[in-house]
Structure 1
């Protein structure tokens, strides 16, 4: 579904990604793990069209995403849940969800998707007319995920969905990610909580200073001594 090949990205003269290659198959949860500054968010932003690549290719289904505008990428069925949630704090919950559907014109489909979001996140329905900035951190994360689902994506990029959340909420968010995947949406997950990410993923890639240094089955990597020492606290 997604094939990234030899992706090079620079910020000015600083090389952020070094020939990064990986793929995501339909129906999978694939996770990118690594320390802060490893390049995980840069990978997602390049796929989403927010950061330009110096060289390499990003193919989604039969489309070449390099140099495609971000809103065009969303229209193809690829959407991102950004790091830090990035909800529109001065808009209501309902208006935030409407923003998620801004590329769509199918009124009935949008209405159906509202109902699906409310079924998955009943708390959002209770707070429909509340300003999004007044929600708790967990509720804001649910809103960020719900807003992304309103674009009806085939592939969702999730950037640090557990960031800043209490352990109980982290568990709830990861259950939701599994549910979304089980309902037919493919997921590329960037997550600093490597243990949780590897527990729900099919496959994983380890990034270090902009390079893929390890890849494989998520359970195998979780059991690897090298990964345990570096990312799972021994």
Structure 2
């Protein structure tokens, strides 16, 4: 479904991604783990067109999307939930969800999708008229994910969805990620909570200083001694 082939990204003199290659197959949850500054967020921004690679190719459903604009990539069905949630704080919950559907023309189906989001996230329904900036961190993450799902994406990119959340909320977010995947959306997950991320992933990659250092099934990497020592606190 998605293939990155020898991607190189630079920020001035800083070589952020170095010949990075990954693949995400339709229907999978693929996780990328690594330390702060390893290049995880740069990779997601490159896929979604926010950052342009200097070299390499990105293919999505057999189409070369290297260098495509962020707006065109959204229209192709790739939704990006950025690190730090980035909800519209001065707009209501409902208005945020409406923004998620801004490129859709099927108005009658959009109404039905609002209800599906409220079924998935009942707390958002209770707070539909509330200003998004007044929600808790967990509720804001739910809203960011709900807003992305209003696009009806084929592929959703999630950047650190559990960051700063209480343990009970982390469990809820990861359960929702699995539900999103079961309902037909492919997931590429960047996450510092390596234990949780690997436990839900079909496959996973470990990134170190802009390069893929290791790849394999999520369950296999959970048992890998180097991964345990470096990322799982074991």
Same fold (TM over 0.5): yes
State the match for 2:51 in structure 1: 51
Q: Does 1:191 align with 2:191?
A: yes
CA contact (8 A) 1:93 1:131 kept: yes
Q: Does 1:205 align with 2:205?
A: yes
State the match for 1:214 in structure 2: 214
State the match for 1:130 in structure 2: 130
Show CA shifts across 1:12-67 (max 9, x none).
11100000001000110000000000000000000000001001011111222211
**SS, match of residue 68 in structure 1:** coil
State the match for 2:66 in structure 1: 66
Within 1, Cα distance between the matches of 2:121 and 2:63? 32
RMSD over aligned Cα, in angstroms? Answer: 0.6
Within 2, Cα distance between the matches of 1:127 and 1:32? 32
Q: Does 1:95 align with 2:90?
A: no
> Structure 1 stretches of 5 or more lacking a match?
none
CA contact (8 A) 1:7 1:56 kept: yes
CA contact (8 A) 1:5 1:56 kept: yes
Report how far residue 115 of structure 1 moved.
1.0
Q: Does 1:142 align with 2:148?
A: no
Within 2, Cα distance between the matches of 1:193 and 1:144? 19
State the match for 1:178 in structure 2: 178
Within 1, Cα distance between the matches of 2:108 and 2:74? 19
State the match for 1:114 in structure 2: 114
> Structure 2 stretches of 5 or more lacking a match?
none
Show CA shifts across 1:67-95 (max 9, x none).
11111111111111110000000000011
Within 2, Cα distance between the matches of 1:68 and 1:105? 22
Within 1, Cα distance between the matches of 2:225 and 2:19? 26
The number of equivalent residue pairs is: 234
CA contact (8 A) 1:99 1:147 kept: yes
What is the TM-score normalised by the length of structure 2? 0.99
**SS, match of residue 4 in structure 1:** strand
Aligned structure 1 segments of 4 or more residues deviating by more than 2 angstroms: none
Larger mean CA deviation between 25-34 and 110-119 belongs to 110-119
State the match for 1:20 in structure 2: 20
